[in-house]
A = this chain, B = another copy of it.
């Protein structure tokens, strides 16, 4: 699926990149605080460091800002994950990948929350694009699991690979969504340990 396009009246492509990063960075803060709907475009402009007029040189609608935010979060997550990809096919490699993912979520906990709570407000085309991004993440884990299977280190039915990958993602999101309950009882390290144990165990029946 091609990238969802956000129209801009500005020609300098580099400047567009720079300004949109400012927008995105500012907007996340606000969305975390007050949610998408309670944040005004003026606040976004101010937080980004320029006037409302300038904001609208780089986006066409408020929803574009939400898309920019979601896109940049996904990109950062994928980048961080790619950075740490060990590319081996042992159980230990899977374990590490999971731990990395959980740590990324821990760092970007607020961003995750925003993305999952607000993405429903995206116009449908943009929403579809964002969902493909989510699927890409699922596929990253599917690949890792697949590699383990093929190397004989994991014994699960091939139809369960996808579910297992979703499972891992959701388990990670749980650390973001339910932190109000979990952080009372767990440190990140302990959470990672217990959850990976359980996930791996579930995959080795």
Interface residues of A (CB under 8 A from B): 35, 37, 116-117, 120-121, 131, 134-135, 138, 159-160, 162-163, 166-167, 170-171, 174, 177-178, 180-182, 185-186, 191, 194-195, 197-199, 201-202, 205
A112 to chain B, nearest CB (A): 13
Q: Which of chain B's residues have a CB closer than 8 A to the CB of A199?
A: 202
Q: How far does the alpha carbon of A60 sit from the alpha carbon of B201 in the complex, in Å? A: 51
Quick one: given A178-B170, A181-B166, A202-B202, are A120 and B35 in contact (CB under 8 Å)? yes
15 contacts between A and B (CB under 8 A): A37-B37, A116-B177, A117-B117, A135-B181, A138-B181, A160-B194, A163-B185, A163-B194, A166-B178, A166-B181, A167-B171, A170-B170, A170-B177, A198-B202, A199-B202
- Distance in angstroms between the alpha carbons of A194 and B117 in the assembled complex: 27
Report chain B residues within 8 Å CB of A166. 174, 178, 181-182
A182 vs B117: C-alpha distance when bound (angstroms) = 19
Minimum CB–CB distance for A159 against chain B, Å: 7
Residues on the B chain within 8 Å of A116, using CB: 177
Which residues of chain B come closer than 8 Å to A182, judged between CB atoms? Answer: 163, 166
Q: Which residues of B contact A195 (CB under 8 A)?
A: 163
How many angstroms between the C-alpha atoms of A121 and B117 in the bound complex? Answer: 11
Q: Which residue of B lies closest to A174 (CB)?
A: B170
| Chain B residues within an 8 Å CB radius of A162 | 185
| In-complex Cβ contact of A121 among B35, B170, B174, B177 (8 A) | B35
Q: How far is the CA of A163 from the CA of B182 in the complex (A)?
A: 8
| Nearest Cβ on chain B to A83's Cβ, whole angstroms | 25
Chain B residues with Cβ below 8 Å from A191 are 163
